[in-house]
Chain A
Amino acid sequence: MADESIQNGDSQASNDDITMAEPEPLPSASNGAADVEVKKEVKLEDLFADVDSDDEEFPSSRPQETQPSSSPTAAPGSPLETGISLKASDPEILRSFYQRLFPWRHLFQWLNHSPTPTNDFAHREFALTLQNDVWRRYMSYPTSDLMRKEMLNLLPSRIEIGPVYTTNPRDRKTVRNASAFKPIAKELCFDIDLTDYDEIRTCCDKANICQKCWRFMVMAVRVVDAALREDFGFKHIMWVYSGRRGIHAWVCDKKVRTMDDQKRRAVANYLEVIKGGSQGGKKVNLRRPLHPHISRSLDILAPYFQTDVLAIQDPWHSPDRAAHLLTLLPDRPLTTALQNKWDASPGAWADIDAVAKSGASKSLDARQLLEAKQDVVLEYTYPRLDIEVSKKLNHLLKSPFVIHPGTGRVCVPIDPRRLDDFDPLAVPTVQELLAEIDQWKDVDGDQAVVKEEGDAEIKKEDGVKRSNIQDWEKTSLKPYVEYFRSFVLTLMKDERDARVKREREEADGMDF
């Protein structure tokens, strides 16, 4: 402790010097004599980086006013002006994004489950894809500020989140035996990708998506969300758009995070209905009567099947797809009759019942046909989970709010209450967001104030109240960050309540 306080004193002094001149290290894009000076100072600040930001995380240690705000007009605007034309993975774009928009503090609170740093965050593995495409695993950070600082340094194009380990992942090589370093907790994750729908969607294929096939993701969220909440009783489920063609779910309940692989596998397989590879034939094979989860899913999916699959996708229009539908139906006379009909005109779902009623087949079992039709509905609507992601405790998954390098879109959380309104193609790209900051005007007519994320205090200068608006609030990222924040707050509240309760119980247990 003594050591730390000495360093604190030092850093305070030097910190003042630096912050007087410049609140943030300037991007290297700037030039001239000032550049040299800035660079020197950047190094100085780096020297005390750890101590400096620790202070912010332990709020009592030092009054915040020691950081005088700098003149806002000196903001490093250079990368933004050219931003629109730059690629999403461009280092300058990333720097501005990580510096001004990425919600570091909320991310920290989300993974830390408490405002004060714990091992939940400090022992959490992050994997970074760096600018030169080097992939670096087992990174970890004690606090959100240290993480932010390093991200500004490394400018990773992708950040993935792994499990919490028994020891700090950075120290994994110093533990005596390998078994002392093992993953102990992670959210239960789900990954659904539209590429897995290529067999049944007609509008797009591969990495392409449109509003039509996005409806499959809506169905998937509805079904999986219902099962996780109603059946398993999970509460804290966050859905995240992956930035291009898929969707992730993070189930964050405390009990869920410590589940072992066997239990994860159990949940994953409970949810999995579409099975079999490209050669497996019929992909839905279910026992009758249907399990309550399946009947409920069918109830959820049936309307979507009418509106989105039949009306919009029209999945059996082409002859080879119609042929596939025939393989899923029972009773040979029926399928032959349908085949003849469809040879003449494109396949249509309504034909099945029409032909069945016309008495084309004597042997037809109505119940069997109904079951086959149910299976078809499921095959064409039920979520196609990439369940490997869910089965393993130590699987890495891309962090929310990272930018998808291909599309430039931010991986934003989706509010399930407004799922139907969510349009993946309207999710802002990083370039748009940076432009929005520049265009933003304060209600008081002030110029845009460049401020760091996490610097939430109202700043005062010459007694004039300055705007407290953070950069993300000036952009269309705002609703997503707000939703994320409310999600994180609810999660933290639950964890705190549980902790208080446990402590009370333990205290009760003591006095006997």
Chain B
Amino acid sequence: MKANGKQYPVTRNVVDHRKKQFADPAYKETDYPHRLNFYAVPPTADITLEQFEQWAIDRLRVLAELEACSFRNKTPAETAAHMKPLLEKYLPLDSNSSSSSKLSAERQKDHYSHFILRLAFASTEDLRRRFTRVETMLFRLRLNDDTTFAKERNAFVQSLNLEWDPVSDEERREYASELAALSGFRKGVQEEENWFKVDWERVPDLVEGRRVFLRAGKAYVPSRESTSMVIAEFTKRLERALELTARALPRLDEDDRLTPILDHLSKNFITPDASYSSSTSSVPGADISAKNVDALSSSFPLCMQHLHRSLRRDAHLKHFGRLQYTLFLKGIGLNLEECLIFWRTSFHKITDDTFNKEYRYNVRHSYGDVGGDSNRRGGGYSPFSCQKILTEHPPGSGEAHGCPYRHFNLENLTALLQQVGIADRSVLQGVKEDKEAQKFHMACNRVFEHVHKNEIKRAKDDGILTSAQLETIVHPNEYFKRSYLLKNLEKGGQDVKMEEA
């Protein structure tokens, strides 16, 4: 590869407008009046191949770390604190007022690296979605970060031309009490607040949280919520641009210098919480069968224990409870036949007919035994990770799924922990603190360490635990596996292979 000093107009096929799709790339000196960028105009200047690769890798590093933060359920403040040094190192971006001499270079790197990654992550829908997600996170982080320079931020928002209708004084009088109710969400906000009016569909997240006033399809947005509108707009435009990039990709008439780099980049963007693969989840020597689930359940994490107890108590679980539990059982190695036996015997209050009619299909579907082609080929669904359980489908009335550390109130959580034999005051106190700090997985790991403290100690002393096995558990099946292996150290001895993890 003749990279040295070779110049190449890298992004000539990335355009954001249909009409420009086939236009020749005209060289244009980009100036960056604002710190933030909506990345509407692709770069046209030449950069070296080394810069091309290095800038992309630097940005990728930042994005991957951001994604990891979200998987660990960090609060925005924690994420900001965590990301600060990384951003300064890899992707610094100073404000106009900082009078840094490198402003232009920083912004150019930000601009170019974004567009390089667009090329790398436009190819599949999955990659596009993830890229949009993390880029939006980065944008949000920086936008919030900008509050210290409100003037610059406002100038940036103004430059976007976001077609927001101002709310007339007449309307403000008409809806005075409604708007006041919304202003009251934060103390100290005076009536003088500005309001915008937009179609509600442009601010779904504000609608979702009831943070705007709605009337006849229009959302009345207080100016302090404009952040979320800017972000929504950013996401929307990026999605559309990526879509166009994807269509242009096959025409990327390229002399095999960039393609390998782009391929390499997208491959390195693997999901940290990659689905739990069944090949590594099996526990050697364990009797994983329907009749043994009761015995095994002592090694289950609290969410699954709760499901198991609810199931035994009611001889029934609602849909998401069945799904979460079925996939977990599948993950620990219970095969389809045994799983069907398990559910059939557990639902002992219903007839065979009802069971076959209403439940059998779903279990088989989870295992990929029935359903569409992709479901069958993929072997059904993957067991839920903690991330998924924590963030998706919070339990409704009468439902037992979800994460007890998150979805229970403190009294009920404490009661449940005591029922499963955790009475240690310091542990319960720790769980309480974790819950209050919204670190639900920490609470779960705390309980794990407490329950297995003797085994962990022995395993550590004997040096059988590898460092990977001391990492935070972020998957219920990992919890079971570690728990089972630890508990069977003394019994199994040699044939329990700890290095399997």
Decide whether A and B assemble into one complex: yes
**Chain A residues within CB distance 8 Å of chain B:** 133, 135, 173, 178-179, 195-196, 198-199, 230-234, 255, 259, 262-263, 265-267, 269-270, 274-283, 287-295, 384, 386-388
> Given known contacts A178-B374, A295-B181, what 19 new A-B pairs fall within 8 Å (CB)?
A179-B125, A234-B217, A262-B204, A266-B207, A270-B214, A275-B396, A276-B394, A278-B395, A279-B306, A279-B404, A279-B413, A281-B411, A289-B180, A289-B184, A291-B210, A292-B177, A293-B214, A384-B396, A388-B393
Q: Collect the chain A residues with CB atoms within 8 Å of residue B210's CB.
A: 270, 291, 293-294
Interface residue? B494 (CB, 8 A):
no
Q: Collect the chain A residues with CB atoms within 8 Å of residue B411's CB.
A: 281
| Interface residue tally for chain B (C-beta within 8 Å) | 47
- A69 → chain B closest CB, angstroms: 42
Q: Which single residue of chain A is at the shortest CB-CB distance from B183?
A: A289
- B354 → chain A closest CB, angstroms: 11
- A199 → chain B closest CB, angstroms: 6
- A137 → chain B closest CB, angstroms: 9
Q: Is the CB of A279 within 8 A of B412?
A: yes
In Å, the complex CA distance between A233 and B407 comes to: 33
Q: Which single residue of chain B is at the shortest CB-CB distance from A277?
A: B395
- A118 → chain B closest CB, angstroms: 24
Whether A279 touches B408, Cβ cut-off 8 Å, given contacts A259-B201, A291-B182, is: yes
Interface residue? B388 (CB, 8 A):
no
A-B contact pairs, 15 of them (CB 8 A): A179-B125, A196-B398, A230-B216, A231-B215, A233-B216, A266-B200, A269-B209, A276-B396, A279-B400, A279-B416, A289-B180, A289-B181, A289-B184, A292-B178, A384-B397
- Contact for B397 among A233, A270, A277, A294, CB less than 8 A: A277
- B4 → chain A closest CB, angstroms: 41
Interface residue? B169 (CB, 8 A):
no
Q: Is the CB of B181 within 8 A of A283?
A: no
Q: Collect the chain B residues with CB atoms within 8 Å of residue A262's CB.
A: 204
Top 3 A-B pairs, shortest CB-CB distance: A233-B217, A277-B395, A281-B409
Q: Which single residue of chain A is at the shortest CB-CB distance from B319?
A: A388
Interface residue? B373 (CB, 8 A):
yes
Interface residue? B213 (CB, 8 A):
yes
Whether A280 touches B412, Cβ cut-off 8 Å, given contacts A178-B374, A230-B215, A232-B214, is: yes
Whether A266 touches B208, Cβ cut-off 8 Å, given contacts A196-B397, A279-B407, is: yes
In Å, the complex CA distance between A280 and B396 comes to: 9
Q: Is the CB of A277 within 8 A of B407?
A: yes
In Å, the complex CA distance between A6 and B396 comes to: 59
In Å, the complex CA distance between A292 and B200 comes to: 15
In Å, the complex CA distance between A195 and B398 comes to: 9
- A70 → chain B closest CB, angstroms: 40
Q: Collect the chain B residues with CB atoms within 8 Å of residue A384's CB.
A: 396-397
Q: Is the CB of B402 within 8 A of A267?
A: no
Interface residue? B205 (CB, 8 A):
yes
Q: Is the CB of B409 within 8 A of A279?
A: yes
In Å, the complex CA distance between A255 and B201 comes to: 10
In Å, the complex CA distance between A274 and B397 comes to: 8
- Contact for B201 among A179, A263, A283, A386, CB less than 8 A: A263
Q: Is the CB of A283 within 8 A of B397?
A: yes
Main secondary structure of the interface of A (DSSP, over half): loop
Q: Is the CB of B208 within 8 A of A270?
A: yes
Q: Collect the chain A residues with CB atoms within 8 Å of residue B181's CB.
A: 289-292, 295
Q: Is the CB of A292 within 8 A of B207?
A: no
Q: Which single residue of chain B is at the shortest CB-CB distance from A232?
A: B217
- Contact for A280 among B178, B218, B409, CB less than 8 A: B409
In Å, the complex CA distance between A267 and B201 comes to: 10
Q: Collect the chain A residues with CB atoms within 8 Å of residue B373's CB.
A: 173
Q: Collect the chain A residues with CB atoms within 8 Å of residue B395's CB.
A: 276-278, 280
Q: Which single residue of chain A is at the shortest CB-CB distance from B371?
A: A137
- A420 → chain B closest CB, angstroms: 26
Interface residue? B2 (CB, 8 A):
no
Instruction: Tell me which of A262, A266, A292 has the highest count of chain B C-beta atoms within 10 A of its own C-beta.
Output: A292
Interface flags, B195-224, vs A, CB<8A=1, else 0 = 000001100110111100111111000000
Q: Is the CB of B357 within 8 A of A133?
A: yes
In Å, the complex CA distance between A135 and B398 comes to: 27
In Å, the complex CA distance between A178 and B200 comes to: 32
Q: Is the CB of A277 within 8 A of B396?
A: yes
Q: Collect the chain A residues with CB atoms within 8 Å of residue B213's CB.
A: 291-292
In Å, the complex CA distance between A294 and B214 comes to: 12
Instruction: Tell me which of B374, B396, B404, B416 has the highest count of chain A C-beta atoms within 10 A of its own C-beta.
Output: B396
Q: Is the CB of A282 within 8 A of B409?
A: yes
Q: Is the CB of A266 within 8 A of B399?
A: no
Q: Collect the chain B residues with CB atoms within 8 Å of residue A293's CB.
A: 210, 214
- Contact for B208 among A232, A265, A388, CB less than 8 A: A265
Q: Collect the chain A residues with CB atoms within 8 Å of residue B399's CB.
A: 277-278
Q: Which single residue of chain A is at the shortest CB-CB distance from B124?
A: A179
- B257 → chain A closest CB, angstroms: 29
Q: Collect the chain B residues with CB atoms within 8 Å of residue A276's CB.
A: 394-397, 407, 409
Q: Which single residue of chain A is at the shortest CB-CB distance from B213?
A: A292
Q: Collect the chain A residues with CB atoms within 8 Å of residue B394's CB.
A: 275-277
- B389 → chain A closest CB, angstroms: 12
In Å, the complex CA distance between A276 and B306 comes to: 15
Q: Collect the chain A residues with CB atoms within 8 Å of residue B306's CB.
A: 279
Q: Is the CB of B207 within 8 A of A270?
A: yes
Q: Which single residue of chain A is at the shortest CB-CB distance from B374?
A: A178
In Å, the complex CA distance between A135 and B360 comes to: 12
- A35 → chain B closest CB, angstroms: 33
Q: Is the CB of B396 within 8 A of A386?
A: yes
In Å, the complex CA distance between A289 and B184 comes to: 6
Interface flags, B100-143, vs A, CB<8A=1, else 0 = 00000000000000000000000001000000000000000000
Interface residue? B361 (CB, 8 A):
yes
Q: Which single residue of chain B is at the shortest CB-CB distance from A278?
A: B398
